[in-house]
Amino acid sequence: MSLRWHLCGVNLSGLWPRPGSGDDSLLQSLHARLDERVLRAIDDEEFDDPAEARAYQSDIRRILDRAVREGVPFPDLREEQRVHVDAADDMARAGRDVYETTSWDWKHGAWFDLHEQLGPKLSGIDKQLLDWLVLGRPVFGERFGTGWEFYSHLSRDEAGALQTMLASALDRGDCPGPVRNRHFTVELIGWLDDITGRGLDVWCGRTDANDDGNARRDLTRPPPRRTCSQYQRGYSIPPDAGVVAR
């Protein structure tokens, strides 16, 4: 089992305006998906006992209910915890259109290698887009306090701009490094192109994958003792999605 990022295409532009709307149909859909996910986790013995499963389910429901009733971000939340990460993933996948890539073929080191090599050569929005993709971009709080447990999101336009920037960086030779890193960058550009070409936005979250590439989300594994307080929120919601940027 190894830590990997899972990049997929979702319809965030249709979802993000809905937090704070009090949309009961959205809440019912989110609750149903959550209940189904927790039941699968219980069957897979990912919880120590039923009480742990009920507590987890209750925590996620409270976050989802507050988001739909009051909107995001939560003004009193400085650091997101693991339940916020899972709740955000549930919200992102609430739409019908979810396009899965094979990004979990690559371990997390490839993403951070790209960031370490290319990041210092960027500035402005180019650097911000790469930071968001690799270091995370919270929805509910100001930052992540969860170790490796975090996620990111990009609007279709932002993903297109990131794709263009990465292609230009390759052409300029700004991503020299090992052949592996150049190969990863080419694949990343392809995933972004596949997602934006379908008219979708980008969602990226952590997943655990076996060496055979089978991805899964472990609900009970404790996060490593490493903080991500440096992963600040630039703005939480894509500005072209109908929500005021922060």
| Angle at the Cα of 158 from the Cα atoms of 69 and 243, rounded to 5 degrees | 25
Residues in the chain: 246
**In this predicted structure, which of 19-23, 44-48, 70-74 has the lowest mean pLDDT?**
19-23
Give 62 or 173, the one with higher predicted confidence: 62
65-107 per-position pLDDT tens digit = 999 999 899 999 999 999 999 999 999 888 767 899 988 788 8
Query: Beta strands 79-80 and 143-144: pairing type?
Result: parallel
Angle (CA) 5-227-58 rounded to 5° is 75
Residue 172 has what pLDDT? 85
SS in 3 state form for 67-107?
A: HHHHCCCCCCCCEECHHHHHHHHHHHCCCCCEEECCHHHCE
Closest among 239, 229, 37 to 153, alpha carbons compared: 239
Domain ranges of the chain: 2-241
The confidence band for 128, taking pLDDT boundaries of 50, 70 and 90, is very high
What is the DSSP code (8-state) at residue 18?
A: -
Cα–Cα distance measured from residue 138 to residue 167, given in angstroms and rounded to the nearest whole number: 26
pLDDT in tens, 195-243: 999 999 999 987 554 444 444 444 433 333 222 333 333 323 333 332 2
Quick check: 146 and 81 in contact, CB under 8 A?
yes
Residue closest to 9 by CA, chosen among 192, 135, 161, 151: 192
